[in-house]
Amino acid sequence: MRGSRLPWILAIVASAIGYGSGPLFAKWIYPTGFDWLDLLAWRHLLAAVGLWALLFLIPAGRRALRGLTRRRAMIGILIGALFTLNASTYFASIRYIDASLAGLITYSYPAIVAVLSIFFGRSPSGWRPWFALVVATTGVVLGVGGIPAAKEPAAIGLLLSIASPIIYSCYIILAARLGGESKAGTGAASKGGESPLVAVPLSLLGTAIGVFAVRAALGRDLLPLPIPADAIAPILGVATISGILPIGAFFIGAQRLGAARAALVSTVEPIYTIVAAGILFGEQLTPMQLVGGAAILGAVLIAEWEAILPARRRAVGRASRSRRVRG
């Protein structure tokens, strides 16, 4: 069907599942002796090398590189560096709190995106984004308050998990701009957007540079060696399934759907993480945390409802006109 958004929606769903798999791989890696910074070093190095090699091997990639300006290259690298902060806070928090709770708190970001979009001129102002932010914040408070006393984590874990969605929201706004976000989310990319073939490798390069800069500042080796045998498979998984796949899929989907709709479709991420963490690690949310999770997902619907209405109105208008013609 012409103009169908389904391929771009599926790209965002794939991105959400990939991102949602990250904490699961981390849960397998940490017992081997690797920490979050070791994980990020290998994750982004392998992902960056793989994508840049692919970029130079395929003709479309080489053509995209020839049209790349220095300014847009720097923007892409800076966006990747910003993602370093998001990934660092997220993966570090998983050492202190359950993966399911971390995923839940992180998913308050769509409400934050809606508010930030007002200031960046990407969506109309009004009460809805602010109300969504209040509901999402309430959900986070309920999620944190529902932690059993016996499992109460260090405050640093909660602070890290709360910082992650704030940073990620800024990343989403910038990623959509680099990719040439569709003004109306109609499926047609706006002019001047960077091809995902170039945008994704640039972002990963910036992230890798950011991770190595952090390691150097902390006086650590650039690459953690040797890799524990039990960590090899999950490191490959976190580099591909939750590294290359979600970053690439999100750039492709956000370019066509826009940041607001991309955030809405991504609501499958915390649901996937919660279910998978329960199956694989026996993690369970308390009733209060489930209420908080429902509030966070409700905030997403509130924040992005304006993005849904235009499409629904157009569909109703087309149906009405069709009935008048037949009558």
The confidence band for 161, taking pLDDT boundaries of 50, 70 and 90, is confident
The residue that leads in pLDDT, 78 or 152, is 78
What are 179-238's pLDDT values in tens digits? 554 443 333 344 445 566 677 788 788 888 989 998 998 899 989 989 999 999 999 999
pLDDT confidence of residue 2: 47
Q: pLDDT tens-digit profile of 104-149?
A: 888 777 778 777 777 765 555 567 777 877 887 787 777 766 565 5
Asked if 111 and 135 touch (Cβ cutoff 8 Å), the reply is yes
Residue 18 — very low, low, confident or very high, per pLDDT cuts 50/70/90? very high
**What's the rounded mean pLDDT across residues 61-69?**
80
Top pLDDT among 289 and 19 is at 19
Question: What six digits make up the tokens of 294?
Answer: 């429902």
Percentage of the residues of the chain whose pLDDT score is greater than 70:
77
What is the chain's Cα-based Rg? 20
What are the pLDDT digits (tens) for 247-298? 778 878 877 777 667 767 777 888 888 888 888 888 877 788 788 778 877 7
Cα separations (Å) of 289 from 145, 183, 187, 293, 300? 8, 36, 36, 6, 17
The residue behind tokens 């059993």 is 148
Residue corresponding to tokens 């940490």: 30
**pLDDT on residue 61:** 78
Which pLDDT score is estimated for 14?
Answer: 92
**Helices and strands counted in the chain (H then E):** 14, 0
Please state the pTM of the whole predicted model.
Answer: 0.71
Task: Report the percent of the chain where pLDDT is more than 90.
Answer: 12
The CA-atom distances, in angstroms, between 44 and each of 210, 257, 322 are 10, 26, 52
pLDDT at 322 exceeding the cut of 50: no
**Residue from 196, 177, 319 nearest 247 by CA:** 196
Q: What is the pLDDT of residue 181?
A: 47
Query: What pLDDT is stored for residue 275 in this prediction?
Result: 84
Give Cα 303 to chain centroid, integer Å: 17
pLDDT band at 34 (very low <50, low <70, confident <90, very high): very high
| End-to-end Cα, the chain, rounded Å | 26
Q: pLDDT value at position 237?
A: 93
